[in-house]
Structure 1
Amino acid sequence: MPRSSSIGSKLTALDPLSSRFALGLMEALVAAGDRSGALRHARVHEELLAQEMGMSPDARVAALVQKLRAEAGSNSGERVVVRRAAGARPFAAALADRYTIERQLGRGGTTNVYLARDRKHDRAVALKVLHPELSSVVAAERFLRQIRLLARLRHPHVLPLYDSGEADGFLFLVTPYIEGGSLRARLTREHRLSVVEALGLTREVAEALDHAHAHNVLHRNIKPEHILLDAGHAVVGGFGIVRALEVAHEEILTAEGLRVGTPRYMSPEQTACLTLDGRSDLYSLACVLYELLSGAPPPSAAEPAPIRTLRPEVPESVEVALARALARAPSGRFETAAE
């Protein structure tokens, strides 16, 4: 990375809400020829400002974004290949010989998720269909090849992959349907969990991450929505999709601002678009634990309140470990999830 963009990245890691720092990093990325990276950082910065302060980026950031998007649009004609022909079948019809769609379960940043019936094995499954605007511009074979590599993960707390493929231009994944729902749904009902349950679920997610990291796989988007509850135990979903999209995307996809991660749970280095390792996932998991105990994730741009000031019954040892896991610099955190 050129020195100017490296300095900009360090500044935005210190203060991700500063539009001045964000603009500096964007300009450095553009100067280095990484226009798509500049747009990606602009999207993250915009979402952080909206969530943390209810504000929009300043006029200079907005103007640069508009200019870069206009340039990307004018240069994208030969790069974007829309695979689905006009009048192509809806995905439910395209998959009708294998899966029967029953109802929609949710919509995420990259996929729509449906409850479906696996016709061959007569079982309920979760069918995840990549958004059409993403399917139309990613290299399908590269996407599915990456998914197959990541599907080799085998762990009691990692959601397994049943199937994946392409049908009439739709890219899809099939996983078990977990009737217990997501940790997000549980938090919506109960706001926060008991200390014992919060620590138990966090430990199980940490075990899943430790297994993935040992196989050189990062999650990049740990959050309550991706932690499912199966008979009281945590099962981590969402492995692979973000990385597969990164590997398979065409330049125009990134230029349109594919969100990699969720701002409220992203590590400072992920916010600044720096190189990541397993400690970034651990930071995200620490944000989840903080929310399980306090009712809200820690603020992105300020030092979080010590957890015992919000939940006095939390053991002091947990407070110390949580503070370490939330260190803004990766070097200040645990090296591995096993720690």
Structure 2
Amino acid sequence: MQSALLDVATDVLLAAPNAATDALAWLVVLTFLVGAGMEWAARTGRLDAGYVRTARGVVAGAWAMFALFWLVLFPHFAFAQKSYVEGILAIVAVPACLYVAKLLWEGRDSLFVLSRAVAGMGLVYLPFETIPSVSLFGTAYPAPKAALIRTVTVQTGVLIRLLGYDPELVRGPELGYLNAFQFTTAGGHTLLFEIVLACTGLGSIAIFVGLIGAVRAPLGRKLRGLAIAVPVIWSLNLVRTTFIGVTFGNQYLQVFVDEVLFLFGSSDPYMVSFFLSDRVISQVLAVVALVGVTYLVVRELPELLTVIEDVLYLVTNEEYDLHGSLDLPEESARGPMRTDGSDSE
């Protein structure tokens, strides 16, 4: 009996995002939106100014639920996916979200901008993660997730073939789409590289759409920021999927095999090239790329510095004035003041 209960608990902890986590994610996003709307109405006089305090409570509650969301997903990232980067980020996000909730409740109103950004990210990402295929009036429409994965698969396949490789396109075992590349090693072993939602760059795109949508700036500069971020992220992501596919499919990174297998808790030596190309090299370089894209976007939207300054404060507990220290355009709207009762947005 105890063994059966342990098996069930393990399955729950390691389960991929499911209906329960999807529902929690939507609840978090909707709570952020309610709090943001309440804060906006209070700041603009559509509600009594006292509702700003109520908005703080609502958004602080959203951050607490966001901490729970990352805590629930941590075992999946760390143990099921064996992604140390994502696992570390997920577990660090738990106390970070709770700290944001505390600071916001205490009156650091600039964090309303970051909160709006999280809501925007969710509105971009969750439809692809949670909306299934539908059939209306006798016509079947693919899920947004399937359409996006298919697009990335086709473009990745073009790049792989341009490099001189010709894997067979087959249905992936995880999703059942035509989204997997089948390679055959020199020894006749078959390897499948499947494109899933995490391979589309949607998460990074959602981050920048959320951030750009959250700040208060002229629409023209927001559109220029999006015109920089989205194509760059999309292109870099295709380079990433092509690199992983070619490296894994041809076993180009079969180094430190025993050490890598031990580190990722695997016994399959054919997975070494995948672990190193995807879980190590690509994920580390993705962080570097996000920093570079952020700098390019900030040059069009210095208003984003409010969010970056808040993030640095969360990490160091020190205030920063990045606008005064970086070579950026003069036009900039400073975010809301950090103390109760003031607003310069």
TM-score range, shorter chain: under 0.3
Structure with greater Cα Rg: 2
The structure richer in helix per residue is 2
Give the TM-score normalised by structure 2: 0.25
The answer to which structure has the higher strand fraction is 1
TM-score, with structure 1 as normaliser: 0.26
